[in-house]
Amino acid sequence: MSELRLENVRKEFGSETAVSELSLTADGDLLVLVGPSGCGKSTTLRMIAGLEQPTDGKIFIDGEDVTRRSPSGRSIAMVFQNYALYRTMNVRKNIGYGLKHSSALSKSERIEKVEEIAEMFGISELLDREVSALSGGQKQRVALGRALVRDPDVFLLDEPLSSLDAKLRSQMRTELQRIQQELGVTTIYVTHDQKEAMTMSDRLAVMNDGELQQIGSPEATYVRPENRFVASFLGSPAMNFLDIDVERRNGHTRYLLDSHELVRVSDDTQAIDRPIQLGIRPEDLTLLDDPDDGATTGTVRHVEYQGNDSFVRLEVNGRIVTCVVPASVRPRQGDSVGLNFPPDQIHLFDMDAGDAIRSPSVDASDTRIETGPSTTEGNETDSRGANR
């Protein structure tokens, strides 16, 4: 198990800053870098691999500064979306290729290692098959096996599953998680798919415009996003945002939409005297048959049946609000319904800066703040803070 540490890493391409003051640590866990296209994920991975030189900052593996080391001078394996296998070799030779040149193992030890890794990926029976005769999923397993057979200190994956169909992708995610845990290899996995990031990471690092926005367990990041970007990026359908007014009255704070009270909470002085946006996740809203029962009323504009549940788009005072309801609840277009905003599920954001100033009051035991051997949340939060 090796510790990877990035300290204030920055990468500029001409006048463009692709990655800005990035600091993070991973140690034997699976850290997923997630963010929209162009946010700097691949550049970060390429700097860790030594394929790009940082403009500034340092990269350490097990405390050793590898920032200026060539890719071959770092114990790193990388897998891309494109499997890049040797087409003229069979599976056994493909997997064993890395060992042939970089390992001090004997021939029999090399054979044993290749067989071990093939078994781990469930491709033992394919070892003597030509690569051209493999399916996409099998090829990807060979590519992953070839990378891991060398026991790298750090394993880097850049959207490795995106060319697979949805079912195979989901299966491979589970397999990768299992193998990563079994080997305990420090792994950085890049994806733009927030669902993939949420389902497979020990921790996720959300990036935007080259800056780290938040790092933590998927649960903590989803429940307590530290800013509006993270709140809107994670979750499908996305969080609802409403511009509200905040008023204090008789020891209570009232959140108002067009002068109409949506929620009342006990004193919340932070939200006073600044423009505020209220956020609520679609699954946290409560839809009521009787429009008179809710804190506010909405008109059903669209119902998207999903099988397990339905996404209902409501018009509330001229805004579209999405809520998720069980599939058994089937409101019809044009229906008038009631809507409740549970006070303990409300997020509030500073309208201008986007910072979260209130998050749902979920029991801390429900959210893994940190997992695995890496316990540097404090450092990471500091580094994030310095970025903004």
Binding site for ligand ATP (CB under 6 A): 13, 16, 18, 35, 37-43, 192
Residue 214 or 297 having the CB closest to ligand ATP? 214
Cα–Cα distance list, 10 to 59, 211, 360, 381 (Å)? 11, 10, 34, 17
Distance of closest approach, residue 14 Cβ to ligand ATP, in angstroms? 7
Residue 13 or 305 having the CB closest to ligand ATP? 13
Residue 115 or 209 having the CB closest to ligand ATP? 209
Distance of closest approach, residue 38 Cβ to ligand ATP, in angstroms? 4
Distance of closest approach, residue 36 Cβ to ligand ATP, in angstroms? 7
Residue 43 or 201 having the CB closest to ligand ATP? 43
Residue 41 or 113 having the CB closest to ligand ATP? 41
Distance of closest approach, residue 78 Cβ to ligand ATP, in angstroms? 14
Closest residue by Cα to residue 98 from 154, 148, 48: 148
Q: Which amino acid is at 185?
A: V
Please give the Cα distance from 3 to 64 (Å, whole number): 10
Distance of closest approach, residue 169 Cβ to ligand ATP, in angstroms? 16
Instruction: For 348-386, give one letter per residue: b (16+ CB within 10 A) or e.
Output: bbbeeebebebbbeeeeeebeebbbebebbebbeebbee
Q: Are 114 and 108 in contact (CB under 8 A)?
A: no
Distance of closest approach, residue 129 Cβ to ligand ATP, in angstroms? 32
Q: What token pair was written down for 25?
A: 């640590």
Residue 16 or 128 having the CB closest to ligand ATP? 16
Long-range contact set of residues 300-306: C-beta below 8 Å, sequence gap at least 24: 300/331, 300/332, 300/333, 300/334, 300/335, 300/336, 300/337, 301/333, 302/333, 303/330, 303/331, 303/332, 303/333
| DSSP secondary structure code for residue 139 in this structure | H
Distance of closest approach, residue 19 Cβ to ligand ATP, in angstroms? 7
Residue 59 or 314 having the CB closest to ligand ATP? 59
Closest residue by Cα to residue 159 from 192, 185, 207, 202: 192
Please give the Cα distance from 141 to 123 (Å, whole number): 8
Distance of closest approach, residue 383 Cβ to ligand ATP, in angstroms? 18
Name the residue with tokens 């510790």: 3
Residue 130 or 193 having the CB closest to ligand ATP? 193
206 bridge partner residues? 34, 214
Q: Which residues contact 183 (CB under 8 A, 6 or more apart)?
A: 148
Distance of closest approach, residue 70 Cβ to ligand ATP, in angstroms? 18
Residue 192 or 228 having the CB closest to ligand ATP? 192
Q: Are 22 and 29 in contact (CB under 8 A)?
A: no
Residue 41 or 358 having the CB closest to ligand ATP? 41
According to DSSP, the β-strands at 30-34 and 186-191 are: parallel
Considering all CA atoms of the chain, what is the largest pairwise distance in Å, rounded to the nearest integer? 80
Distance of closest approach, residue 137 Cβ to ligand ATP, in angstroms? 22
Please give the Cα distance from 252 to 309 (Å, whole number): 35
Q: Which amino acid is at 321?
A: V
